[in-house]
Amino acid sequence: MDLGASAIKLARYDAGFRKASLLDVDLVPAAAPAPGAPATPGASATPGAAGASPPFERVVAQMAVLRRHLVGDKALADELYVALPGEHLTFRVIDLPFSDPRRIESVLGYELESQVMTPLDELVIDHVVVGTRGSDTRVLVAAAPRELVRAVVDASTAEKLVVRQLSAAPLVYAAVWGPASRAVPGATLVIDIGHEATTACVLREGTPEFARTISRGGRHFTEAVARGYRLDMEAAERAKLDGGFIAHPGMEPQSPSQARMDTSLREAARSLVRELRQTLAAYRASYGVGVERIWLTGGGARLVGLRELLVAELGVTAEPGPGAGEDAGKLGERADLFAVALGMAQVGLGNPLRLNFRKGEFAYRSDYSFLRARAAYFGGAALAILFFAIVNAAVALHGLRQENEHLVARLRKQTTDLFGTPRGDARAISEELKEGQKSGGPPIPTVTAFDVFDEISRRIPPGDKLKLDVLELDIKPKRTYIKATAETAQQVDDLADALSKIECFTEVQKGKLRSVTAPARPGPDGQTPSGPSELKQFELTITTTCP
Q: What percent of the chain has pLDDT over 90?
A: 37
Q: Is the dihedral of CA 93, 98, 103, 107 positive or negative?
A: negative
Average pLDDT, the chain: 84
Higher local confidence (pLDDT), 52 or 83: 83
* pLDDT at res. 330: 67
Q: Please name the residues in contact with 174: beta carbons below 8 A apart, sequence gap of 6 or more.
A: 181, 201, 203, 206, 207, 208, 343, 353
- How far is 172 from 320, CA to CA, in rounded Å? 17
* pLDDT at res. 48: 39
Closest by Cα among 145, 149, 112 to 127: 112
Q: How many CB atoms lie within 10 A of CB 186?
A: 12
What pLDDT, in 10s, does the model give residues 283-332? 999 999 999 999 999 888 889 999 999 999 999 999 888 865 566 566 76
Q: How many CB atoms lie within 10 A of CB 493?
A: 13
* pLDDT at res. 44: 34
CB 83 within 8 A of CB 1: yes
Helix then strand then coil, % of the chain, to nearest 5? 45, 25, 30
Question: What would the mean pLDDT of 68-78 be, rounded to a whole number?
Answer: 73
- How far is 466 from 490, CA to CA, in rounded Å? 9
Closest by Cα among 533, 528, 523 to 485: 533
Closest by Cα among 33, 25, 28, 32 to 8: 28
Strand order across the beta sheet in which 198-204 lies: 207-214, 198-204, 187-193, 291-297, 317-320
Q: How many CB atoms lie within 10 A of CB 96?
A: 18
Higher local confidence (pLDDT), 4 or 356: 356
Closest by Cα among 216, 202, 213, 184 to 301: 216
Strand-strand pairing, 163-168 and 187-193: unpaired
Residue 204 predicted with pLDDT over 60: yes
What pLDDT, in 10s, does the model give residues 537-547? 999 999 888 76
User: Which value, to the nearest 10 degrees, does the dihedral of the CA atoms of residues 231, 235, 237, 240 take?
Assistant: -80
* pLDDT at res. 485: 92
Q: Report residue 314 CA to chain centroid gap.
A: 38
* pLDDT at res. 368: 54
Strand-strand pairing, 291-297 and 187-193: parallel
CB 30 within 8 A of CB 65: yes
What pLDDT, in 10s, does the model give residues 85-99? 888 899 999 999 998
pLDDT band (50, 70, 90) for residue 443 = low
Residue 27 predicted with pLDDT over 70: yes
What pLDDT, in 10s, does the model give residues 107-151? 998 889 888 888 989 999 999 999 887 788 999 999 999 999 998
Closest by Cα among 350, 356, 282, 273 to 316: 273
pLDDT band (50, 70, 90) for residue 339 = confident
pLDDT band (50, 70, 90) for residue 159 = confident
pTM of the model: 0.63
For residue 62, give Cα distances in angstroms to 39, 65, 136, 182, 488: 9, 5, 41, 34, 112
What pLDDT, in 10s, does the model give residues 362-414? 988 765 555 666 778 888 999 999 999 999 999 999 999 999 999 989 988 88
Closest by Cα among 295, 345, 254 to 15: 345
Question: Torsion-angle region of residue 325: left (phi > 0), alpha (psi -120 to 50) or beta?
Answer: left
pLDDT band (50, 70, 90) for residue 55 = low
Q: Is the dihedral of CA 365, 369, 374, 378 positive or negative?
A: positive
